[in-house]
Homo-oligomer: A and B are copies of this chain.
Amino acid sequence: MILSEKQKALIEKIGIMQERTGMQPVAGRIVGLLYVADKPELTFDEIREVLCISKSATSNALNMLQQLNRLDYITFSGDRKRYFRLKLNRWRELVTKEIDSITDFADILQEVVAERTSKTPEYNQNILEVADFLKYLHAELPKLLDRWENTRK
């Protein structure tokens, strides 16, 4: 597999965006590669070769991305290779998971206010305001996703 300069540039760009979500550079580039490659499914060795990375880095990153539900692979009988692909059709589940994690911070903020001195009512109120908005987001975002689905029909 040979990549154009433009493809290489996009892989790096996507890679850096993914890094910002907390994944390591190699994993980010793998995601980028799967976005831009002409084939939607790539083998372990294709990935390893075009990205010039070691087998261990490839293996670790692929497994981690599967843990995160970003990837899976398909197989073909009579062929031992795995064909890795982005789980693009399942991105709604990732969105839902992100939405759910919003409550984590809201909960901590409420815990904070419960623990705080009552001598700073304005400050406490500010914190509760943030928590309230987060809860609102958590409740409303699924509806927003639904509404978007409806605009597509």
Q: Mark A3-27, 1 if CB is under 8 A from B, else 0.
A: 0101100100110010010100000
Residues on A lying within 8 angstroms of B by beta carbon are 4, 6-7, 10, 13-14, 17, 20, 22, 35-36, 38-40, 88-89, 91, 95, 104-105, 108-109, 111-112, 115-117, 119-120, 123, 126-127, 129-130, 132-133, 136-137, 140, 144-145, 147-148, 151-152
Query: Besides the contacts A10-B112, A136-B151, what 15 more A-B pairs have beta carbons closer than 8 Å?
Result: A4-B115, A6-B115, A17-B105, A17-B108, A36-B112, A38-B117, A39-B120, A88-B130, A91-B133, A95-B133, A129-B152, A132-B148, A136-B144, A140-B144, A144-B144
